[in-house]
Structure 1
């Protein structure tokens, strides 16, 4: 389908959906409670700090330190990165101390000894007040049979669990009186058991500090509000004050990574003012499907970035079909101090009108600037650049106090952010929306492949797929998918391919345009053939209709969808200052609506704006602060001053980069230009390394320079000499592969393991570097490591540790400023 700008008119269709945002019906402060993650962190450094900091996760769920259920994700270990990024509660799933799934039952005395040990260790942590112990996980299905259908069996099993709950609760209190306890943590909301549990807990003084259960089925999108209402009614009947709630697992594979699905879940939980953690199905350390690589966001990450940035108080949202699965839903907020209203919506295709009612004149005046942006689905492993702005316009407030923002041609899997700000003098620049069209693989001409259905409501744990279908079986000579596309004008286009590759090494297809010569397309590995990634291939097309054919060459590639986008020349992004994170209390001035139309951020002494800047690849970019005076830019440990009109060159890492701007000045935007120039980087080939302790160099045709440094285990090392033109902060880019896995026998996840090595610079203290799993020993990702180098010659040493070691393909380094 063609993706039309929101103000354009598409083919005749039904009347647009209407989502109403009532700015006068305010709730409490935005909780942001539904951004939590189960095993979203696997190690300190996976995911990276620049990915975690903007999200401000309110809670995470992890295993006890040293627990055997998973090979990584130890609560005390990952808590350091979580707290560093401003994160909230850490839920410790105590039964994950066991190895088997379902948990082996070695007797309750055995469990109590383990519970005591976990409680003592958590209680010794300096931030033990931020931890919550979850003594039991899914007791309806594991150990206790609370899901027994017969009344007699249920009563017997319930009594046994309640007795054990009382004992476990008392044991935690005896070890650490201030340590919080959560439960019962069943697989579902249990109308039958929960009243019995709460009455017992009230009568015996063992109420949980936080009430927990799971909402995993697609039906939860319909049923959760009723569950929450039932809970509050039970509490009232029992005379119990409302307990805090955390839904410790929500969503399924069809939801994770998909912005349009995540809107439905988070909007539902935010309205109920409860916390919630996304479920863990496949890979620890990727924030449950929202981080493509250690530092690289996908579309789901950008949705949660919007959620974290919502200011002020929640306001009422009336969707066209409340509590209905896979329909247009949303959440919204109003902040009188910053004079902004935010609405995030999605979950349906087609057209919609977002109607803001009771727009307060004392906040916005008689006209607003409306800004619309889209976070698209890019798969679990596909990178997503900063969301594209689709609409930027001044809209008068109607006499009845409403503002209507039209959205046309929405994608069901995308989320959309609508921001209202006061309109000053002048006219905003129109949003440059390049032409774009999408084509489903199942609708193309297929030779030697099969259409597969997955990710439907009936198959909620199936992986997400565009239009719930893809084409598999393209694994032999002659297999091909031919797309018929029509483009409006001649020029350069980006061909984005949503795909899966489970072959264990890069796979290839031949791309032909009409009858032209074939070009080779190489697809990196993905976790499995349905774990989507996105690959961008440049093509040049003449105006009119063409056949784009992707044909088998080597391995097997599953094709989902292609997107064609008109080329826009040199990459360029503008980040609005009034929408950036801030420290201090800078004022916002909206007197001028020209340019971006979003006004200026007045940075005083002690104020700062923090921007999340996306870089498509490792390299140098021109970064221009638009301000009325000189400002300072801080990135990756470096500081540079920029006068008005200057564009310092900064070395950025592929993915997200946190850039802080300080004044004093009036700042309107941070403009970033360039595709990532890597010509100035100093290359450190693995063949140049001085090796010791068993480290070797072996050939690998998939590595960028044809070799890898292998055998970097305990006692091994590799040393490089690098010359720096000037001293100061640098970035070291380490290209590596790692496919270490644990043999735990879990059918529902891959049990991938990170690899580690120690890095020592110029004989200084060694620090651990953690390399996330790349799903193949022939899949090479890049990890950016900040370091300080001296002017002149320097020594870099990578030292192996016990445990999995990465295969190193290449090192490159350069100064952050002017790199």
Structure 2
């Protein structure tokens, strides 16, 4: 959603200043956010890292600044986009045009089909016109053999107010008609929707009832969370949706919130902490920052292709590895946290209130009697102000008592966000990240599974697809290394075929080589094999593939647990 809020809700919100931010100075201080390192929630997948119209071109935003965000999911306009949103003078963000930048950043992309129209709200012409447009869009994607990151067709956007019932008939009938046309042209790519502007029980129930009857239930369920304080209701909305799904006998679908945050919130890092915490707790698949102003900024993370204050909150989130762990909010203080057991790093991103508050971190018994805690801050800089780096607030040792510490956040900025980083007193177990879990990486046409045999409790399996850019299965690891040199890469894998299997290996756009996986004791029974990779200082992308463009395909099958660089 873009223009509607500018004319309706934004005017109302402007009259009530306290609604523009997560909390106001009237809110009581003295809250404690509790982080339980011993209670993993799920693997880190950077659920909330993404945006609508996040990429304008292959150079906007700067690709070098995208990799640190570990982008998960984007929603970009359709091939041949004509949409002129938010004052743009030329269309931007065509999903196929920006695909190289998205792929390089590790992001998957939903294609928003109605943005083939120039105007928003959309101006319906006729069914013949729409179906011609659909054919053109889908055929363009099917013909783009090098594009591997399109993981969803979004058939319409906010039908609760942009669908022309008078001209096009009911939305549920139109959905079914469009669904079946797309499926006749592309039987592989998931279909996502209904993409309502808000979560509404009766709308969702009516839609799913009709979709089940027509055999057109979306592969991914989508709605938007765009109100001020919208994060507060996400858990209730997810629970209500799951109840509807169960009542209709529909198998559980992944959930996408592919627009989140009101126009007033794009410059409020503490709001990001609230949303990210809720997304991780509720188990949704992905969430994308809304597009209220300029395209190519990931909802205000960039100005003039450089970071704003909010960027750094997402950079901290992007640095998370291992498992998301349980956080318990207190009052308006909330946040998201992860534990990387390979380096013994607890990474907490929080915000939401003022005064003196605290973060209690539990489950630190394996860290020794003393830990090092570094607290950093990023401000609400304004959409048109750049912030070169976060500010370090403090760095000191804390004594661990009964496996816990309590870290005060003094004179908290209720608009900004904070990072609390906890390591053993001597520092992380390695000075740079060497172990990369497959389940934390970009997983394409494969699935994550849990097992106690895996190094972080999870692994990637069903890496089975090959033969086309819509079916190829691979895992992309974004790694950061300190210097340009040859690295030894140990791959932890399982191969239950009884014979040697292979994957293709490529990195940084280079040529393919073959990795061989001798048989292991069975599936999810892991062993290691070693190869050499020549990496550049900084960020690199390493792909292990069953199938991929310019690669003829691997032999047999293998599962991936992790890679380790030395």
Are residue 331 (structure 1) and residue 345 (structure 2) matched? no
**SS of residue paired to 2:69:** coil
The equivalent of 2:404 in structure 1 is: 402
CA distance in 2, matches of 1:130, 1:93: 11
The equivalent of 1:348 in structure 2 is: 353
CA distance in 2, matches of 1:584, 1:262: 25
The equivalent of 1:286 in structure 2 is: 297
The equivalent of 1:265 in structure 2 is: 275
How far apart are 1:93 and its partner, in Å? 1.0
Gaps of 5+ in 1: 1-12, 146-155, 322-326, 429-575, 586-599, 609-657, 663-819
Are residue 660 (structure 1) and residue 541 (structure 2) matched? no
The equivalent of 2:57 in structure 1 is: 43
More strand by proportion, 1 or 2?
1
The equivalent of 1:357 in structure 2 is: 362
How far apart are 1:72 and its partner, in Å? 1.2
**SS of residue paired to 2:221:** strand
How far apart are 1:373 and its partner, in Å? 0.9
CA distance in 2, matches of 1:353, 1:158: 55
Are residue 25 (structure 1) and residue 39 (structure 2) matched? yes
**SS of residue paired to 2:294:** coil
Contact 1:376 1:415 in 2 (8 A): yes
Q: 1:83 aligns with which of 81, 86, 103?
A: 103
Q: 1:345 to 1:222 in 2, by over 3 A?
A: same
How far apart are 1:273 and its partner, in Å? 2.5
How far apart are 1:405 and its partner, in Å? 0.7
The equivalent of 2:130 in structure 1 is: 111
Map 1:305-704; keep pairs closer than 5 Å: 305-321=315-331, 327-359=332-364, 361-362=365-366, 364-399=367-402, 401-424=403-426, 606=487, 660=538
CA distance in 1, matches of 2:164, 2:38: 48
Contact 1:341 1:419 in 2 (8 A): yes
The equivalent of 1:302 in structure 2 is: 312
Aligned residues: 417
The equivalent of 2:521 in structure 1 is: none
Contact 1:31 1:270 in 2 (8 A): no
More helix by proportion, 1 or 2?
2
Q: 2:159 aligns with which of 135, 139, 149?
A: 139
How far apart are 1:159 and its partner, in Å? 8.1
CA distance in 2, matches of 1:142, 1:391: 50
Q: 1:250 aligns with which of 256, 260, 283?
A: 260
CA distance in 1, matches of 2:83, 2:482: 48
CA distance in 2, matches of 1:580, 1:109: 57
Contact 1:578 1:601 in 2 (8 A): no
1:502-552 C-alpha deviation (Å, 9 max, x unpaired) = xxxxxxxxxxxxxxxxxxxxxxxxxxxxxxxxxxxxxxxxxxxxxxxxxxx
Q: 2:180 aligns with which of 170, 190, 200?
A: 170
Contact 2:483 2:537 in 1 (8 A): no
Larger Rg: 1
CA distance in 1, matches of 2:424, 2:208: 49
CA distance in 2, matches of 1:315, 1:158: 47
Q: 2:249 aligns with which of 224, 232, 239?
A: 239
Contact 1:584 1:606 in 2 (8 A): no
Map 1:150-229; keep pairs closer than 5 Å: 160-229=170-239
CA distance in 1, matches of 2:322, 2:77: 34
Contact 1:36 1:60 in 2 (8 A): yes
1:564-597 C-alpha deviation (Å, 9 max, x unpaired) = xxxxxxxxxxxx9957565779xxxxxxxxxxxx
The TM-score with structure 2 as length reference comes to 0.69
**SS of residue paired to 2:380:** coil
Contact 2:29 2:355 in 1 (8 A): no
Q: 2:144 aligns with which of 125, 132, 139?
A: 125
Q: 1:120 to 1:419 in 2, by over 3 A?
A: same
**SS of residue paired to 2:263:** coil
How far apart are 1:659 and its partner, in Å? 5.1
Contact 1:347 1:412 in 2 (8 A): yes
How far apart are 1:144 and its partner, in Å? 4.6
CA distance in 2, matches of 1:420, 1:257: 27
Contact 2:335 2:350 in 1 (8 A): yes
**SS of residue paired to 1:311:** coil
Q: 1:307 to 1:168 in 2, by over 3 A?
A: same
Q: 1:317 to 1:584 in 2, by over 3 A?
A: closer
Q: 1:210 to 1:196 in 2, by over 3 A?
A: same
How far apart are 1:77 and its partner, in Å? 0.7
**SS of residue paired to 2:135:** helix
CA distance in 1, matches of 2:431, 2:298: 24
How far apart are 1:80 and its partner, in Å? 1.3
How far apart are 1:28 and its partner, in Å? 1.0
Gaps of 5+ in 2: 1-26, 85-90, 438-480, 490-535, 541-566
Q: 1:603 to 1:25 in 2, by over 3 A?
A: farther
Contact 1:129 1:178 in 2 (8 A): no
Contact 2:103 2:148 in 1 (8 A): no
CA distance in 1, matches of 2:45, 2:125: 40
Q: 1:237 to 1:356 in 2, by over 3 A?
A: same
Q: 1:581 to 1:338 in 2, by over 3 A?
A: closer
Deviates more, 1:195-204 or 1:349-358: 195-204
Map 1:705-720; keep pairs closer than 5 Å: none
Are residue 73 (structure 1) and residue 93 (structure 2) matched? yes
Q: 1:661 to 1:86 in 2, by over 3 A?
A: closer
Contact 2:109 2:149 in 1 (8 A): no
**SS of residue paired to 1:136:** coil
Q: 1:607 to 1:584 in 2, by over 3 A?
A: farther
**SS of residue paired to 2:265:** coil
How far apart are 1:345 and its partner, in Å? 0.3
CA distance in 2, matches of 1:583, 1:73: 34
How far apart are 1:272 and its partner, in Å? 1.5
Structure 1's consecutive aligned runs of 4 or more residues displaced over 6 angstroms after TM superposition are: 156-159, 600-604
1:192-242 C-alpha deviation (Å, 9 max, x unpaired) = 021222233233321111111111101422222110110111122222222
CA distance in 1, matches of 2:231, 2:168: 28
The equivalent of 1:62 in structure 2 is: 76
CA distance in 2, matches of 1:254, 1:49: 27
